[in-house]
Chain A
Amino acid sequence: MIKLRAPLFITRHVLFALVAGGLGGVVFMFFLIEFDHFTSSNEFCLSCHSMTYADDFYRQSVHYNSPSGVRASCGDCHVSEGIIMATYDHAVGTKDLIKQLFGPDYDDPVINTLHLPEAAFAARDWFRKRDSATCKRCHTQEAILGTRANTAAIHQEDAQGKTCVDCHINLVHRPVPERQTFKRAAWNSMVEEEFALEPGAAAALLGEH
């Protein structure tokens, strides 16, 4: 009879450490899953006051009020699928937290709107880099039929080589032009008009940060 014998270096202490480490690892994984899940929820995202401005538009959108009853949360669109990428996104996302704490006063609606375009550009870059992976989590391109006769044909024939956000932007949040045609001066004067500020006030506010 062959006797299974652990290698000599596996001492009792090592065995204990392996078991403890393994259990700890499992617990950590569960923690990560729960952490990612929690930090992807609307409740968590909206716990920053500044995010309520994004929420206002989100609540008007079809992604909040879809006819099918499916509702996409912040994380459904903005956090990658899978524990590793989700954790990575959250790690990178902590810069938002740091900015919120030490950056401009994003809670101020004027400051928030003035900085919105850069946030939109970054988000669009993020979507493009991942081939709109989070869109495709719910929407299967081949299965898109649409309410108009030719929506399916367009998605099968004319969307080749494109990713969702190449065509579909400004669906959920406040509309912002693409970086290529964005004009800061025009955006600033729109904000000034909207919040009844003096001409030039927007540029001054941006300059402070």
Chain B
Amino acid sequence: MKHPILLLVLCVTGALAQAAKVELDPSHWGHPEGENCVSCHAKASPGLAEQWRESAHQRAGVNCLDCHQADSADVDAITHEGQVIATIVSPKDCGRCHQQEFEEQAGSVHAEAHAIISERVPALAHNLTGAAMQAAGCDQCHGSRVKVRGDGSLDPTTWPNSGIGRINPDGSKGSCSSCHGRHAFSKAQAREPDACVRCHSGPDSPDKEVFEASKHGMIYKANREAMNLDADTWIAGQDYKAAPTCVTCHMGGAGKIPSTHDVGLRNAWSLNTPVSARQYLVVLESGEKLELPADQKPPKRGSELTKADGGTGKVKMVVGPDRRRQIMSMVCLECHGKTFTASFMDQFDAVVQLYNGKFGEPAAAIMKGLYEQGLLTPLPFDEPLEFIYWELWHDEGARARHGAAMMSPNHAWWEGMYLVGRNFYSRFLPEARAVAGGAAAELVDSVLARSDHHRWQSSPDAANPILGWSPPPRLEPDTSELEESADPSGQSPRAGAEAQAVAPMTEAVPVSPASEGRGDD
């Protein structure tokens, strides 16, 4: 099972659509000395011992020492009651048995979570607040670079940590306990949406809130007992059908799609960037993966690429965004019709493109111009405009896109794109013009003029029923009517008529019969 992508591309049979069985000979499990660990830890830390006692590991005969055993030469090896162990059980350790899961997560966007923000940490965690925030904040989701001190202890500024992109002392990336809480390693718990909530909630990736507010989340809540969360295999449509969870769409087996521990595998778009890009998934010879924007030429097989960590790797395979979308859609098809699924994806794509074209790209261009002209210092977050821009794409912009991706209308609009628009027009543009000063026409307004998205602003006297006021009708300069129309209740007969005429056009969403699919909404 070395190349899960190959399997995906070749559309393997449904029999593989489940987590890989461990391959190591079970006769190697159950280190005899592990019994001593259990005997003592049942007394010294009964909570964790009891979690293990009720786990699938215990039933399979896997004990403490099978996972924690280390070699004396290991960087983080310590002696403990006569045994050489390591406190941290890294994905590499788990991979001694769960090889496929290890390889899948090793190149995933999750495993690179530390690398993704390592350039942001100094500006945000250190400058904006203080270094102490890194351990308690950023690193708890993105993972720390765990440091082993000369006396063998784990540096408390870097550990405890179970961030998903943790850089382990053995060089491996990630932390299985991020989702499978130690020491139970429950499958059911990892299949719960709550397993993702620690990180995927809040301003920039409110996926918990988005999911809960979506039809999927509502159905899940109402039918949780029908979800078969404890099942050995968990294939959508086969082992359960009540509702999807995060795992269902992003990792789970469904039909011909095998399950994967590469959680970003099926994502066609990048949604947490200033401007979203459709992305290639590049698989390297080493098994590592990286993502490249699809507007660049796809790298050729065998060519060399620079990885996130600065090293180079040879391209083995490139999976295009369409293929990734197709795989995600095949999960949808377990419960939805083809047209329904495709049309939903179209709606989602349209929101991302709207965000890009109307806000993301112009805002990025304006910022670039201001930096290039020296009107903003390169240092991040020392000027108000930088905060405004950061929140525009990182918070509100991401929320809008995630809301559209996961069908929470409230997050797509009120918590998302509405705030993006408000920020863009009422904070970002005024501040950008102020920063640009005399160069505003060149650096700000010319950027806006490149698209039609902002043309509505050139009609300042358009009707205004939404704010309870309409401009006086020009053609009927009757003073008594003027006063009437200034009434905050907006009861002017003409204004009312206009509002009615406008409202259906802006609110009605055309629904074509084809998008109803099989009617299995």
> Would you list which residues of chain A between 151 and 204 have a CB under 8 Å from chain B?
151, 153-154, 157-158, 162, 166-167, 174-178, 180-183, 186-191, 193
With an 8 A cutoff between CB atoms, is B510 at the interface?
no
Of A157, A166, A189, the residue contacting B39 (CB under 8 A) is: A157
Q: B150 and A187: CB pair below 8 A?
A: yes
Say whether, besides A150-B44, A153-B43, A177 and B81 are in contact (CB < 8 Å): no
With an 8 A cutoff between CB atoms, is B151 at the interface?
yes
Residues of A within 8 A of B79 (CB): 177-178, 180-181
Q: B82 and A162: CB pair below 8 A?
A: yes
Q: B150 and A191: CB pair below 8 A?
A: yes
Looking across the interface, which residue of chain B has its beta carbon closest to that of A179?
B79
Looking across the interface, which residue of chain B has its beta carbon closest to that of A181?
B77
Q: B39 and A176: CB pair below 8 A?
A: no
A177 to B73, CA, bound (A): 13
Residues of B within 8 A of A178 (CB): 78-79
Q: A190 and B36: CB pair below 8 A?
A: no
What are the interface flags for B117-134 relative to A under an 8 Å C-beta threshold, 1 for contact and 0 otherwise? 000000000000000000
B452 to chain A, nearest CB (A): 59
B78 to chain A, nearest CB (A): 6
Q: A186 and B150: CB pair below 8 A?
A: yes
A182 to B77, CA, bound (A): 9
A181 to B78, CA, bound (A): 6
With an 8 A cutoff between CB atoms, is B72 at the interface?
yes
Looking across the interface, which residue of chain B has its beta carbon closest to that of A177?
B152
Q: B78 and A175: CB pair below 8 A?
A: no
Residues of A within 8 A of B454 (CB): none
With an 8 A cutoff between CB atoms, is B40 at the interface?
yes
Q: B44 and A154: CB pair below 8 A?
A: yes
Q: A174 and B151: CB pair below 8 A?
A: yes
Q: B40 and A158: CB pair below 8 A?
A: yes
B86 to chain A, nearest CB (A): 10
Q: A175 and B153: CB pair below 8 A?
A: yes
With an 8 A cutoff between CB atoms, is B84 at the interface?
yes
Q: B152 and A181: CB pair below 8 A?
A: yes
Q: B44 and A190: CB pair below 8 A?
A: no
Q: A176 and B151: CB pair below 8 A?
A: yes
A149 to B46, CA, bound (A): 11
Looking across the interface, which residue of chain B has its beta carbon closest to that of A182?
B152
Q: B40 and A188: CB pair below 8 A?
A: no
A148 to B41, CA, bound (A): 13
Looking across the interface, which residue of chain A has its beta carbon closest to that of B37?
A158
Residues of B within 8 A of A177 (CB): 78-79, 151-152
Residues of A within 8 A of B81 (CB): 162, 166-167
With an 8 A cutoff between CB atoms, is B330 at the interface?
no
Q: B84 and A187: CB pair below 8 A?
A: no
With an 8 A cutoff between CB atoms, is B149 at the interface?
yes
Known: A150-B46, A154-B44, A157-B39. 13 other contacts (CB 8 A): A151-B43, A154-B43, A157-B43, A158-B40, A162-B82, A177-B78, A178-B78, A181-B78, A181-B79, A183-B150, A190-B149, A190-B151, A191-B150
Closest 7 CB pairs of A and B: A190-B150, A150-B43, A177-B152, A178-B79, A158-B40, A187-B150, A181-B77
A-B contact pairs, 22 of them (CB 8 A): A150-B43, A150-B46, A151-B43, A154-B40, A157-B39, A162-B82, A166-B81, A175-B153, A176-B151, A177-B78, A177-B151, A177-B152, A178-B78, A181-B72, A181-B79, A182-B152, A183-B152, A186-B75, A186-B150, A188-B150, A190-B149, A190-B150
